Structure 1
Amino acid sequence: MLDKLTLVLGGAGSGKSQWAETLVKNAGADRIYLATARVWDDEMRDKVDRHRVQRGDGWTTIEAPMHIGPALTQARPEQVVLLDCATMWLSNHLLDGSDMALAEAEFLAALDDCRAPVVIVSNEVGMSVVPENALARRFRDAQGALNQRLAARAGLVVAVMAGLPLALKGTLP
């Protein structure tokens, strides 16, 4: 049985998405994949394609790079939602110049209203060097703050490194 909210954190290439996908598959529910990535170039298209193949069949994919609220609020209790990833969602809003306070408030309200369990994948970006430019520093700070707010709401928070999960909050299934 999944918690109402699970947060899966890790660095780039840490195995966090694959671990989260396995967690959702093992839940045995109707699976929704809420994709937040924008495909800007061939490299990103290849990454999206690799993720799709890695997930396999049995997923309903909803592409929502900006407005994830409707997908969350429409999810049914017998479903489970994998949101991959909060980092791309945040990046999209920052690059578009969105009102971040409003966007985040809508995101968190939709999470609260979601009737299905939700697993969120997000990058841990605070363990590296201080970025050299203002936008990158703003992103790092915004991502850290968002991760903290998500972790406070989550029943299970998992850090994934080298494909290995470590429970930071709650108990691993």
Structure 2
Amino acid sequence: MTAASTTLVLGGARSGKSTFAERLVDGIGLTKIYLATATAGDDEMHVRVAQHRRQRGEGWITVEEPLTLVDALTREATVGRVVLVDCLTLWLSNLMFAERDPEIEAKRLVRFLDVSRYPIVFVSNEVGLGLVPETPLGRAFRDAQGRLNQIIAAAVPNVAFIAAGLPLWLKRSQEN
């Protein structure tokens, strides 16, 4: 896997996107960094985090970073490593709840990707295929998620959409 292998993995809830992303980086011979953006604020999220750790298995270094994603990537995306960011959706919700500007943070992330030489796999939810959220906050989140996915998809050489655990490659570099 090379820097050109940086990939965005999109899909709906329980589509298999995290499992697919883990398989992309599992067994490529590099140190695997799992950059988790989730915060376990309640019992149900503690269970989900534990399930994800069990699912990943051994051999992953977990780094938890709910807000300062670019800073964490600057530290963790180095020679001999591949970073899996799971997920941009939770990162976005964390930014919104912290009253940070998602557009500024997304532009910062794209600037980082422009100079990064190391492979990164991003996981993100495709939220635009469902019902229109009934609350203003829900609609604002859906819109921000759609914009974030578009910005990252444009910045990376590979984009896969996962449905029922199966990938549909929307964009794939010739180096893979």
**Match of residue 65 from structure 1:** 66
**1:10-49 equivalent positions in 2, closer than 5 A:** 10-49=11-50
Residues 91 and 139 in structure 1, CA contact (< 8 A), matched pair in contact too:
yes
TM-score normalized with structure 2 length: 0.92
What is the distance in 1 between the residues matched to 2:164 and 2:173?
A: 19
**Match of residue 9 from structure 2:** 8
Report the 3-state secondary structure (helix = DSSP H, G, I; strand = E; otherwise coil) of the residue aligned with 1:167. Answer: strand
Q: Which amino acid aligns with 2:172?
A: G
Deviation of 1:4 (Å): 4.1
**Match of residue 161 from structure 2:** 159
Residues 157 and 167 in structure 1, CA contact (< 8 A), matched pair in contact too:
yes
What is the distance in 1 between the residues matched to 2:49 and 2:113?
A: 24
1:118 is aligned, of 92, 117, 120, to 120
Residues 36 and 86 in structure 1, CA contact (< 8 A), matched pair in contact too:
yes
Superposition RMSD on alpha carbons, in Å?
Answer: 1.6
Q: Which amino acid aligns with 2:112?
A: A
Report the 3-state secondary structure (helix = DSSP H, G, I; strand = E; otherwise coil) of the residue aligned with 2:35. Answer: strand
Residues 70 and 110 in structure 1, CA contact (< 8 A), matched pair in contact too:
no
Deviation of 1:27 (Å): 2.2
Q: Which amino acid aligns with 2:128?
A: G
What is the distance in 1 between the residues matched to 2:147 and 2:110?
A: 13
Moved more, 157-166 or 109-118: 109-118
Report the 3-state secondary structure (helix = DSSP H, G, I; strand = E; otherwise coil) of the residue aligned with 2:55. Answer: helix
Please list every run of 5 or more consecutive structure 1 residues that lacks an aligned counterpart in the other structure.
Answer: none
What is the distance in 2 between the residues matched to 1:61 and 1:111?
A: 21
Aligned sequence identity (%): 51
Residues 5 and 173 in structure 2, CA contact (< 8 A), matched pair in contact too:
no
TM-score normalized with structure 1 length: 0.94
Residues 14 and 160 in structure 1, CA contact (< 8 A), matched pair in contact too:
yes
User: Alignment length, in residue pairs?
Assistant: 173
Please list every run of 5 or more consecutive structure 2 residues that lacks an aligned counterpart in the other structure.
Answer: none
